[in-house]
Amino acid sequence: MHLFFQPDFSSISALTDDEAFHAAKVLRLREGETVQVTDGQGSWYDAQVRQSTPKRCDLQILKQTTYEPRPYSIEIALAPTKNIDRIEWFVEKATEMGMDKISFFYTKHSERRTIKLDRLQKIAVSAMKQSLQAYLPQLEEVGDFEKWLPKASEATAQKFIAHLPDDVLPPHLLKSALPKQNYLVLIGPEGDFTTKEIELTQQLGFQMAVLGNTRLRTETAALVACQTLHLVNIP
């Protein structure tokens, strides 16, 4: 059955914009056909087409299913890579695995200073549908790392930075993360964080964590962190 994404579906019972166009022009849905809709916020609907135009597809809700959020949340914050393809696949894969928030910051060593959030958003929507999930991760461009970090660190329960200091190896993320927490993990740029940036994370209480025995690219490290935190929560 065709699956659509409509964030405000509970209030409008219709598809709009791209989803309405896709329903009318590509799938040529007719009155009486049934479809599925997710609002990306935990609700999943079976619905029947009442009227389909390229601008708006009115639907009648047949059944609503609400999914509880996970008992933990994962936010990964990272510097976009020079080659944006790498970020795009991270967004796709992290959404498939389950992710609550992805934040993009810019550091002193960031090689890229802009991203197209719209495009990443579409990739996340597509991956959410593909993996049949009812929650869409929130994507945000948060700007300058040092300005953003103090605000970001206030709200979070367990805060990590994927960083290897020169002296003592910190514990593996699997060992230092506790189950059922809200996690925030910082992943550095390709040129790594500066000493000053690292110091700021330490002042704000971020724990250093190892992600494995090999040197990982930015986007691989981000995905490994996400998967590790899911596994911390396997009962």
Binding residues (CB under 8 A) for a second copy: these are 89, 93, 96-98, 130-133, 172, 174-175, 212-217, 220, 223-224, 227-228, 230-231, 234
Give the nearest distance from C-beta 164 to a second copy in angstroms. Answer: 12
- In this complex, which beta carbon is closest to a second copy, that of residue 184 or of residue 222? 222
Give the nearest distance from C-beta 151 to a second copy in angstroms. Answer: 30
Let me know: does 182 contact 158? Beta carbons within 8 Å.
yes
Give the nearest distance from C-beta 85 to a second copy in angstroms. Answer: 9
* Sign of the Cα pseudo-torsion (35, 38, 44, 50, in order): negative
- In this complex, which beta carbon is closest to a second copy, that of residue 54 or of residue 67? 67
- In this complex, which beta carbon is closest to a second copy, that of residue 68 or of residue 154? 68
By CB neighbour count within 10 A (0-12 exposed, 13-18 middle, 19+ buried), where does 216 fall? Answer: middle
Give the nearest distance from C-beta 214 to a second copy in angstroms. Answer: 5
Measured distance CA(227)–CA(222) in Å, rounded: 9
- In this complex, which beta carbon is closest to a second copy, that of residue 73 or of residue 201? 73
Measured distance CA(35)–CA(29) in Å, rounded: 9
